[in-house]
Amino acid sequence: MERMRRIPQKRRTSKDYSQSFKIMVVREIEKGKLTMSSARGKYGIYGGNTLRAWMKKYGIFAKKRKSKLKIMQTPQQKIAELEQKLRQLERQNKFLEEQLVDIEDKAGILDKIIELAEKEYHLPIRKNYNPGQSENMAKQ
């Protein structure tokens, strides 16, 4: 029986991975979904130091360290950071508004479909939410 040979792959450097990929791997490790060694195996990351550097840069502890650095920011740096956050929130708001319009359109279409089905088949599809008083309340 012939042994399968493993084809050597080009060693990747940290620069070969996108920032979003690095953050995703770090989140999986922090949430306990993967250990560092299983993450290396799953994603084909060669060096253990690579993951440690990612954890240091993108992990929870990095956020705590960055918050301490914010205290030492100049006013110009704070303004630039707030402007960036504003742009991000505006993009997010626009996206959510578009989703809301889509959902409202879908709800209107479904409402029309139900209305047509009730008329066509003479079936009460919608529930009547006007139950009146219960028997126990009426006796009292």
Closest by CA to 54, choosing from 28, 87, 79, is 28
Per-residue pLDDT tens digits for 16-55: 788 888 888 888 888 888 888 888 888 888 777 888 888 8
Average pLDDT over residues 63-89: 78
Average pLDDT over residues 99-115: 94
Task: Say what the pLDDT of residue 116 is.
Answer: 93
Closest by CA to 28, choosing from 40, 14, 44, 18, is 40
- The Cα–Cα gap between 53 and 115 comes to 59
Q: Where are the domains of the chain?
A: 12-71, 73-126
Could you give the 3-state DSSP secondary structure of residue 71?
coil
Q: Transcribe 116-139 into DSSP letters.
A: HHHHHH----S--------HHHHH
- Global confidence as pTM: 0.38
Average pLDDT over residues 115-136: 76
Higher-confidence position of 90 and 46 = 90
